[in-house]
Amino acid sequence: MRALVSIFGLSVLLIVVSEGSVWAQPYAVDFTRDVQPILAMHCYQCHGPGDAASGLRLSSREGATEPANSGLPAIEPGDAAGSELMRRITAESIFERMPPEDPGLTDEQIEVLRRWIDQGAPWQDHWAFEPLEAPAVPEVEDADWVRSPIDAFVLARLQQNGLTPAPPADRLTLLRRAYFDLTGLPPTPKAVADFLADDSPDAFERVVDRLLESPHYGERWGRHWLDLVRFAETNSFERDSLKPHAWRYRDYVIRSLNEDKPYDQFLREQLAGDEGDNPTADSIVATGFYRLGIWDDEPADRLLARYDHLDDLIATVSQAFLGLTINCARCHDHKIDPITQQDYFQLLAFFHNVTPMAKEGPQIEVPIVLEDGSSAHALAISESGPRPPETFLHVRGNPRVPGSAVEPGFPEVLTSEPPVIPTPAEDARTTGRRTVLADWIASPDNPLTARVMANRIWQHHFGRGIVASPNNFGSNGLPPTHPELLDWLATQFIAHEWRLKAMHRLIMLSNTYQMSSQGDSLALQQDPANDLFWRFDLRRLGAEEVRDAVLAVNGRLNPQMYGPGFFEEISAEVLAGQSRPGSGWGKSPPDQQARRSVYIHVKRTLLTPLLEAFDLADPDSSCDARFETTQPAQALAMLNGKFMNDQAAHFAERLRREAGDDRLAQVRLAWQLALGREPDEASQRDALALFDTLQQHGVQPDKALDYYCLLVFNLNEFLYLD
């Protein structure tokens, strides 16, 4: 029997014989894609960069091929049968078998390691730590399908696996996809009609350009960034007190993205925007980044709480900017990646002079001058003068057991160049250390920064990144499905002066982006997760998109931008669940409650129930990818929730106002507004039949239209994008 299976994204042809299986034909095992994930997940905890149990370290070729304490090397390149590693992972005895946890490696994983060793055990350094270079664009057989180099990289992988790309999406599907991707809002009926009537070859390109200039672009893509930097306006813990002026940071992010601020500048401002000769109001507001995390205003152990806060900074900076879990090295060397505890505390030294968080006051509230000349305050960073405290490595992460002193430094695995730390003047406000760190992170020579952000841009267009663990590019993260494509995108990002809008155009004008979600039996069997991007993945609208689309369709969306957030109406039952019911939650007027969801006040212990039901990001830590669940609270919120029923009634008012009392005209307008198209005859008949049924049950005509509008909001076509 012939069968196609996928091992770590690699398709392999099997011939199954009786109860066993033999490989029909050899294939080239790729170390980064196929082997390293097995070693990282199952072996590095004991035999990785940090630990070398029994004298064996499997994180390097030297460690794997040199004799361990037993006197034998784990791997004999070219001889799997004679390799101690193969003997131990296939051992029958639980006292000899490795890894020790039951049930050990799968048959497929063992076969991958066997073939790799027989092929000479070729070893590569971890791909993400390698210098960034632009790869050659591959040549493909079907050159006519290639509109962009992106298409060539994707098509090359598809052809290697005997697959073909899905057909193009229809024009309405493509238009809705672009609108939601770039603005988080649906197209208006006029926008749909204009696009469908435009036969010019650059029609879609002009749509993309127009959407990139929309102020709604910054609101949509700003929300992605706010997820990463754990944005919230309160501190969490029992009192969950207010972070004063935190909304200014949110506005800074939206404004920066709308201005297409270069990403390297965007990073530098957040890390060190207060340093330098002429800091601006914007660059000072940007440093509110340091104050966004959770903070306990009454800790049991103040010293430990201080270092917990610094750890939160290290975790966020390393994961969001570098795609590394450097925070895992707080108590010991990283178990998976070549990051030492020394690296961790050298990074901490860059932040050690930052003044602790507080409830209010000059420590966290910095005066700024706005564009109109008026004075205000911003939640921002401050330092304890030009002389930082000495930084010590903590034995087992315990701040009460200091070890050796350390100076600021970068992880050795990423650079061999030590930082040049300035000597600040006696009257300086800061040490200048954060500028040194910012310049290193935002450098085009940093092997991670451009890769990580290019991957995030791809992720939010396709629903998943080329690296599907966007905050973890380390050995325990998921390997890239298209490493050459990722490097090409990263080099293009730098070449386009780190501008996001250029990357959006590059991606959205490719045939890869414009594919339909149409299935294919062979591709579904061989690559059910769509790792090879042979089609466009269907996706449900995100939490904010659901709420904002409802308001846009019923005509109530308030386009007001910026300023303090508003308080969504929350039921008394939900408020009662707080430690102090209702504390810290206000009541905004109806017009303010109709603003976009990005402007809702973010209270950590009281998230908006509708948004939380649709997988709003947890603001307590960096969120690289939201979950996409299907659970009862969503249906209850969409059908029974007060917000949805109120908005359905407003939708019905709009239909009566614009379509009159004619039922069929109301139905047609409802579909045009919500779905961008006319209802087919069957849908029209179903709608009229529903009205008749409701009338028979004594439902008044206006209420019946409310119910129909609620039904439209619950259609899969409204809630999902092809």
Residue ranges for the chain with pLDDT beneath 50: 1-26
- Which residues have C-beta within 8 Å of that of residue 544, sequence separation ≥ 6? 184, 223, 596, 597, 598, 611, 616
pLDDT at 311: 98
- CA-closest candidate to residue 315, choices 451, 197, 472, 425: 472
pLDDT at 40: 79
What are the structural domain ranges in the chain?
Answer: 27-118, 171-213+448-533, 262-441, 540-631, 642-721
Tell me how far apart the alpha carbons of residues 56 and 68 are, in angstroms, rounded to a whole number: 5
**DSSP alpha helices (H): ranges in 419-542?**
433-441, 449-462, 483-495, 500-508, 521-526
pLDDT at 100: 84
Please spell the DSSP secondary structure of 264-323, one letter per residue: HHHHHHHHHTT-SS---HHHHHHGGGGG-S---SS-SSHHHHHHHHHHHHHHHIIIIIH-
Find the farthest-apart pair of alpha carbons in the chain and give their distance in angstroms, rounded.
89
CA distances from 136 to 28, 152, 432, 495 (A): 21, 10, 40, 15
- CA-closest candidate to residue 380, choices 309, 306, 283: 283
Sign of the torsion formed by the C-alpha atoms of 397, 399, 405 and 406:
positive
Secondary structure class of 10 (helix, strand, coil): strand
CA distances from 185 to 213, 546, 590, 613 (A): 14, 9, 20, 19
Q: Which residue has the tokens 């909001």?
A: 713
Q: What is the pLDDT of residues 340-374, one digit of tens each?
A: 999 999 999 999 999 999 999 999 999 999 989 99
Q: Which residues of 284-323 are buried (b: 16+ CB within 10 A; e: fewer)?
A: bbbbbbbbbbbbbeeeeeeeebebbbbbbbbbbbbbbbbb
Please spell the DSSP secondary structure of 350-398, one letter per residue: HHTTBPPP-SSSTTTEEEEE-TTS-EEEEE---BS-SSPPPEEEEGGG-
The two tokens of residue 710 are 């609620």
* Burial tier of 420 (Cβ tally within 10 Å: 0-12, 13-18, 19+): exposed
- Determine the distance from the C-alpha atom of residue 694 to the mean position of all C-alpha atoms in its chain, rounded to a whole number: 44
Q: Which residue has the tokens 């103040």?
A: 302
pLDDT at 50: 66
